[in-house]
Amino acid sequence: GENVEQHPSTLSVQEGDSAVIKCTYSDSASNYFPWYKQELGKRPQLIIDIRSNVGEKKDQRIAVTLNKTAKHFSLHITETQPEDSAVYFCAANAGGTSYGKLTFGQGTILTVHP
Amino acid sequence: GAGVSQTPSNKVTEKGKYVELRCDPISGHTALYWYRQSLGQGPEFLIYFQGTGAADDSGLPNDRFFAVRPEGSVSTLKIQRTERGDSAMYLCASSAMQGPYEQYFGPGTRLTVT
């Protein structure tokens, strides 16, 4: 089955700096890669996703890049703000007929210091 | 519109008891997913439904766990003979259709088995 590895487990930045979180996946048939933000005690919130037919996607301060050959994808947050502090999870869908099933990474605790 | 809802928000039960957790997906969403999240971990897939049928139940840990979606909308996750190791946050997500599409999570049910 799919295996998703996420790094780093914790990330501390100053307000205004950029933050990058990286994930690798194992199933070459995966074609959908969402990122979720989870604040303490809250539900995971979808913040951006990318499909395998594109290499990069941007939404304001957030961008995601995908390298299918190397089987890795990354989340980039620019001009970080304290409200960006949360746990971020990457995920990849399963290949084959169960392509809605998501496998999540272990999470990255992002802290943005004012 | 209304998002995914889950009831109860918290459930405390004694070891050996039976529990039911309910999920109301976003109206019109045909795909429904159950995940389990332990503290400090990413969500872990349990089962997903396309319409009324379970499309993939490979994540259910053992035969004490069962889920239904009889009318293709509301789903119930049922756990028999609960064990302390079942304690976790149970999250439900829905998607407009089966496959590599956006999944939106509910607030979860925190299950504690004493």
* Helix (H) or strand (E) run with residue A45 in it: strand A45-51
* pLDDT band at B1; cut points 50, 70, 90: low
- CA-nearest residue of chain B to A105? B42
Which A residues 64-103 touch B at CB under 8 Å?
A: 89, 91, 93-94, 98-103
From the list B34, B38, B41, B44, the residue with the least C-alpha distance to B6 is B34
pLDDT of residue A67: 96
- CA-nearest residue of chain B to A31? B100
Report pLDDT digits (tens) over B2-37.
899 999 999 999 999 999 999 999 999 999 999 999
* pLDDT band at A46; cut points 50, 70, 90: very high
Q: Which residue has the higher pLDDT, B97 or A7?
A: A7
A100 with B42: Cβ contact below 8 A? no
* pLDDT band at B91; cut points 50, 70, 90: very high
Q: Are B24 and B107 in contact (CB under 8 A)?
A: no
Mutation for B interface: A32, A37, A101, A106, most B CBs within 10 A = A101
- CA-nearest residue of chain B to A46? B104
